[in-house]
Structure 1
Amino acid sequence: MSTQTIERAAERVAQATPSGLSRRIAGLSDGAIAWLFVSPTIVLLLAINIFPLLWTIYLSFTNYRANQPGRAIRWIGTRNYERLLGSEDIWGYMQATAHFVCWTMALQVLLGLGLALLINRNFKGASFWTTVILIPMMLSPAVVGTFWTYLYQPQTGIFSYIVNLFADVGPLNMIGSVELAPWAIVIADTWMWTPYIMLLCLAGLRSIPDYLYEAAEVDRANTWQKFWYITLPRVLPFLMLAVLFRGIENFKMFDMVVELTSGGPGSTTELASINLKREAFEKWRTGYSSAFAIILFVTVFGLGNIYVKALNRVKS
């Protein structure tokens, strides 16, 4: 008996006697089969995301402390939220966070859009300079924080040297100064994430058809008019999307700020995320820190929803 004959017989047997799984799948609709394959992923996401969120919400109404696992969990209602919302320190941390987010977003949008307009000119070496500009974005925030810590050294740092080239102010202690420390983290974050804004703006610029500018040339529009009526409206959805992503990330910025200032001097640069870590893993006030985490979550979620509605209006 030849090998080909055996293979044909095996195929006929396989077709005539499908496995139990194949018979069961054959009787399902397309929607049921789709749910069959998607359901494990949904269960995994629920276990990773939803359960911790619900557990955090529950702990926010208790006096639980993670360093005392044998202690009975006592329900205290909204006391943690009342203490948080009535604390002046918490509002100070939120103000420091808002200062950081607003200034980094403003600088990154201006610089990112400007760099995108320059790179979009397709000059000689544009690809090389695009790659160079994107390098900071590829680094870890902790590495960037350590890198800028050395740049900010008053005596040996290059940042102080560059500033003194334009203004003779002597050794500049960016990290140790109450007035300058917030700007130190704004500059470092802007250096790191401006390329990200530039990349999305560049995608928006490359999507603008050439015939719009050609029609503007026929109508004798100047450079400013072409930018205001053609370039900006087409790039704005990409720019707003970049601001959404970066705003959410900056609101929970932690590692780079810890490496730069550790929240100091004093509590000048202690962002909400840094204070949350202190409450949860240094003071071990787990219930209190859970309530703080829920407040931050609701704040970011609410602002994000408002911003997405504005983005949808711009895109429409």
Structure 2
Amino acid sequence: MTETPIDRAARATPPSVARRVRGLSDRAIAWIFVAPTIFLLLAVNIFPLIWTIRLSFTNFRANRPNREVEWVGLRNYERILTDSDIWLTMQATAHFLIWTIVLQVLIGFTLAYLINKKFKGNDLWTTIIVLPMMLSPAVVGNFWTFLYQPQIGLFNYIVEFFTGIPASSFEMIGSVNLAPWSIVIVDTWMWTPFVMLICLAGLRSIPDYIYEAAEIDRASKWRQFWTITVPMVLPFLMLAVLFRGIENFKMFDLVVQLTGGGPGSVTELTSINLKREAFEKWRTGYASAYAIILFVTVFGLASIYVKALNKVKER
């Protein structure tokens, strides 16, 4: 009879170790395997969070480690919540967040609905559409920066074709009114495929017999769309919105690549402002309070949203 790997492992185990293992319950053995991961998560996530909360009540500066640290209480939080510049960055972030999610959901769902219809070249078009998502933000930022250039940018010539505005005088990134939209367009181009894939998974999870029953009841295609397709894909859509909302709230690299996100800029998002406070002005305690406020905001909104998502799933 051939010896199995389990038999070889049992034979190689020292008798003393084997006796101790036999005395452990299944729960104890499970904790032995899970404990290293839990300790790693505590070290990587929980400890920095607790340390950041502690620093948020002080005037600590990372570039002056030998300076005496003063406990300032809630002063950092008061300064942040009463700073008009902070609220402007919040508005810029909300503008970016809302429009990117709206456009990505609309375009992503439309593409998924079209691709779900079986046609020749379906797989090829799916691969082509997904390509932008595979690129790094640095590559995408540099690529679109060239497209936005007033003299050589292809995007400006497209705008000139449709609007009649001379391409040489059209500077999208440098324009106060159009710079935020330049970021919205690039992020939508890059991450719409992600939303499309989630929606496509939702569409393909709908059983065919539901549509067949609706056709027997003489339901029109429009009625089938609103009473079957949309309700059953809605949880997937909401999941896509959750993922993209969290990611776009902390958007940093793409904005810096496109516009630099300079101080006072209409494209200065909260993540860029936080980086400036922490690593340019070196106000570590102040930046820690800022980070905690952003964390509580995202965590609170995400928790409310997840409860709504669970209610939709239960229907």
Name the TM tier (shorter chain): over 0.9
Shift of 1:135: 0.5
Displacement of 1:130: 0.1
> 1:277: which partner in 2?
275
Distance in 2 (CA, whole Å) between partners of 1:47 and 1:15 is 37
Look up the match of 2:109. Answer: 113
Matches within 5 A, 1:288-307: 288-307=286-305
Contact 1:176/1:265, CA 8 A, preserved across alignment: no
The aligned residue for residue 220 of structure 1 is: 218
**Where does the alignment leave 5 or more consecutive residues of structure 1 unmatched?**
1-6
Question: Residues 63 and 152 from structure 1, CA distance in 2 versus in 1: closer, same or farther, beyond 3 angstroms?
Answer: same
- Residues 52-100 of structure 1: per-residue CA shift (max 9 Å, x gap): 0000000000000000011121111000000000100000001100000
Query: Normalising to structure 1: TM-score of the pair?
Result: 0.94
Q: State which of 82, 99, 106 in structure 2 corresponds to 1:103.
A: 99
- State the TM-score, normalizing by the size of structure 2: 0.94
For 1:40 and 1:218, the matched residues in 2 are separated by 57
The aligned amino acid for 1:63 is N
Indicate whether 1:54 and 2:50 are aligned.
yes
Residue of structure 1 aligned with 2:176, choices 155, 158, 178:
178
CA distance in structure 2 between the aligned counterparts of 1:142 and 1:152, rounded to whole angstroms: 15
Secondary structure in 2 aligned to 1:135? helix
For residues 166-210 of structure 1, what are the alpha-carbon distances to aligned partners after superposition, in whole Å with 9 as ceiling and x for unaligned?
A: 111112211000000000000000000000000000000001111
Q: Which residue of 1 aligns with 2:84?
A: 88
Going from structure 1 to structure 2, the CA distance change for 1:16 and 1:221 (only over 3 Å counts) comes to: closer
What's the counterpart of residue 21 of structure 2? 25
Aligned to 1:165: 161
Structure 1 residues 170 and 16 mapped into 2: Cα distance closer, same or farther (>3 Å)?
closer
- Spell out structure 1 runs of 4+ moving beyond 3 A: 14-19
Q: Which residue of 2 aligns with 1:205?
A: 203
Cα drift, residue 262 of structure 1: 1.2
1:4 counterpart residue number: none
SS in structure 1 opposite 2:266? coil
Aligned-residue Cα RMSD (Å) equals 1.7
Question: In the alignment, does 2:28 pair up with 1:39?
Answer: no
Instruction: State the partner residue of 1:145.
Output: 141
1:63 corresponds to which of 50, 59, 62: 59
1:20 to partner: Cα distance: 2.6
Count of equivalent residues: 306
Residues 236-285 of structure 1: CA distance to partner in whole angstroms, max 9, x if unpaired? 00010010011000000000000001114841100000000000000000
| CA shift for structure 1 position 221 | 1.5
Give 1:107 deviation, angstroms: 0.2
1:128 counterpart = 2:96: no
Cα distance between partner residues in 2 of 1:289 and 1:253? 17
| Structure 1 residues 15 and 113: alpha-carbon distance in aligned structure 2, compared to 1, 3 A threshold | closer
Report SS of the residue matched to 2:174: coil
- The structure having more radius of gyration, on CA atoms, is 1
**Structure 1 pair 58–17 and aligned structure 2 pair: CA distance change class (3 A):** closer
Q: Match of 2:72, as an amino acid?
A: I
Question: Structure 2 regions of 5+ residues with no counterpart?
Answer: none
